[in-house]
Amino acid sequence: MQQDLLHPGALLFANIERWRNKGRLYSKGAGHNYLVAEEFHDKNGSPMSFTWIVSFLQLNSTVLLIPDVRRPCLVLFNRLNNQTLSLLGNYPQRGYADGDMPMFHHPQTLIFDVMTKDQILLFDKGNNALRGINTGNWSVDTLTVFNSSFVVK
């Protein structure tokens, strides 16, 4: 849950309907309660429903970065026109790859990197990895892999 940058005083939150395998983002404030996002378009332009949204980032008041855990991808989403701006990840394949064609296993938590202005941090639970996403070119690098001996790359 975050303060909605587009509607001051409102909250932006994710909701998962497990029985329908559907994830949605809503904005709720005084006088309004509306659906923000429930589907995106894949690389072929086909509509896809979000399935499992556990976090999101507002890059500004209109653009959201939304990881879908069950569809191993990150969606750059324009909420004003419900348009998919970009899709990070090799959906529908799960995997592990860095660079311009990244692969994720279970992308979950996103936070802004306070140390670097042009980087977002992603916890990729399925790969036990902390990944850095460069917001200038949207490439992905693995920063740390967590295992029993805590290996730092």
What does the pLDDT look like over 95-130, one tens digit per residue? 999 999 999 999 999 999 999 889 999 999 999 999
Where residue 9 falls among pLDDT bands split at 50, 70, 90? very high
Amino acid of residue 120: I
Q: Cβ(51)–Cβ(70) under 8 Å? A: yes
Model confidence pLDDT, tens digit, residues 14-64: 988 877 778 899 999 988 888 999 888 887 888 888 888 889 999 999 999
Query: What is this structure's pTM?
Result: 0.88
